[in-house]
Chain A
């Protein structure tokens, strides 16, 4: 079933929308959740919660790209669950590694400045991503949006593992420079 039809089912409050979402995007959403949580049971729960969130969001929402809309919901739910698990010192996985890497991007602080607002940080990140060559941007997003492993990214784009690592290393360096230039405090 096409996205438009699935969205129409949500709008019609037809529960078939959930079934069709699961059929079309269940695997996709599960993959996103699993990369973050590294636990199938937790990933399944996040995916189920995704359909509930989507049900509440449509209407009035009518996303242009349903896959990305659902994927973003799943990602946010997964991050929240991960934070909860982390507080209880449970779980592991690729996200821990990804966070260690992103810690390199945290700019040096000027203690007199206030931390940037979330919306502003989102805007700046978008601005930064648009400055990147397509390949570097894709690799960055696969690593830090989808939390994919280096090997998965290398296979996806037909790159060598070290080329992926080099690309990410440079992009993280650029991000740090960009955030420092913008005077960002996190």
Chain B
């Protein structure tokens, strides 16, 4: 094989280790249907035509002294006709006014090899609004993935006792509520907040204390990501790997020494990962047990923020 192709193969193979979140994003990207201008035009023409017919009919009926009942029937017929035409034409219409630049996207670049900025930028203008929607949808899907139960408001999830009381209130600055779900059967609630491309997902579950193994905080080799290199599957000893992937800290251990222990534990799990790009916020995952016999609560954190922000969010609930 040619040398350059061998080297290209190295790149291709190295892509197997791409971050899961990037793969998941391209897996979940909704299909973007470009509605050609001619289809949009047909829809508008149909609507205008119906409005014109409706207006003429209304005037004709009014002047002919038609009764209210027959007028109602006529209106129903018109509504049915409008529904029928809507079904036959474009299925969706973007609310971002993309139609104005739809023609620009239609022209596009003629050759794939040309560094032709104008059509690409026009195309980008068309898709910009769609990407905003896609980002929102992506964030919601990221929050909702694997989450069970029915969707609820923030107020509802916080009032769902007793688990609602364990949902943190002091979110890192800039985070806003995104979505929440309650699963009564599993006795679990999941809440998601976002801050641009950053997100935080908290799941609180009712558990039996004896069924949860918390880590021994004096054994950092079982949970501290700073001790190992990525890929963890190859560097973390097999006997610790299961715990390492999903460590559970006891809140009583974390609150030791005026909370400084907790901060260190969070620092061991929330790391920058040296990701440059649209967000360089540290990210991580861990769980916290609030032991109380059969009414214990397990809080699982998965998201982005500085360790100080994350710990402050959790510690503020127990201070």
Seen from chain A, the residues whose Cβ lies within 8 Å of a Cβ on chain B are: 3-4, 59-62, 64-65, 67-68, 71-72, 75-76, 79, 83, 86, 95, 98-103, 105-106, 118-119, 121-123, 125-127, 129-135, 137-138, 141-142, 144-145, 155-166, 168-170, 175, 186
Q: Which of B9, B105, B114 contacts A83 (CB 8 A)?
A: B9
Beyond A79-B12, A105-B8, A141-B26, whether A162 also contacts B20 by CB under 8 A is no
B109: which A residues are within 8 A, CB to CB?
162-163, 166
A84 to B267, CA, bound (A): 45
B8: which A residues are within 8 A, CB to CB?
99-103, 105-106
The closest CB in chain A to the CB of B113 belongs to A169
Write 23 A-B pairs (CB below 8 A) sorted by A numbering.
A60-B241, A60-B242, A75-B16, A76-B13, A79-B9, A100-B8, A103-B5, A118-B13, A118-B14, A122-B18, A122-B231, A127-B274, A131-B277, A131-B278, A132-B277, A134-B278, A144-B15, A158-B31, A158-B33, A159-B32, A163-B108, A165-B112, A168-B112
User: Is B276 an interface residue, CB under 8 A from the partner?
Assistant: yes
Can you add 11 more A-B contacts, CB < 8 Å, to A59-B242, A138-B26?
A106-B8, A130-B22, A134-B135, A137-B26, A141-B18, A141-B26, A155-B31, A157-B29, A162-B112, A163-B120, A186-B7
Tell whether, in the assembled complex, residue B18 and residue A126 are in contact, meaning their CB atoms are under 8 Å apart. yes
Query: Chain B contact residues: over half helix, strand or loop, or mixed?
Result: helix
Tell whether, in the assembled complex, residue B245 and residue A62 are in contact, meaning their CB atoms are under 8 Å apart. yes
B123: which A residues are within 8 A, CB to CB?
159-160, 163
A164 to B31, CA, bound (A): 14
**What is the CB-to-nearest-CB distance from A179 to chain B, in angstroms, rounded to a whole number?**
9
Interface residues on B, range: 35 or more
**What is the CB-to-nearest-CB distance from A96 to chain B, in angstroms, rounded to a whole number?**
9
User: Is B257 an interface residue, CB under 8 A from the partner?
Assistant: no
B34: which A residues are within 8 A, CB to CB?
158-159
Tell whether, in the assembled complex, residue A105 and residue B11 are in contact, meaning their CB atoms are under 8 Å apart. yes
9 nearest CB pairs, A to B: A165-B112, A130-B277, A158-B32, A102-B8, A138-B26, A186-B7, A122-B17, A103-B4, A131-B277
Q: Which of B10, B32, B230, B238 contacts A121 (CB 8 A)?
A: B10
Q: Which of B29, B31, B238, B275 contacts A127 (CB 8 A)?
A: B275
A3: which B residues are within 8 A, CB to CB?
146
A65: which B residues are within 8 A, CB to CB?
20, 23-24
A169 to B109, CA, bound (A): 13
B278: which A residues are within 8 A, CB to CB?
130-131, 133-134
User: Is B246 an interface residue, CB under 8 A from the partner?
Assistant: yes
Tell whether, in the assembled complex, residue B5 and residue A135 are in contact, meaning their CB atoms are under 8 Å apart. no
Tell whether, in the assembled complex, residue B112 and residue A166 are in contact, meaning their CB atoms are under 8 Å apart. yes
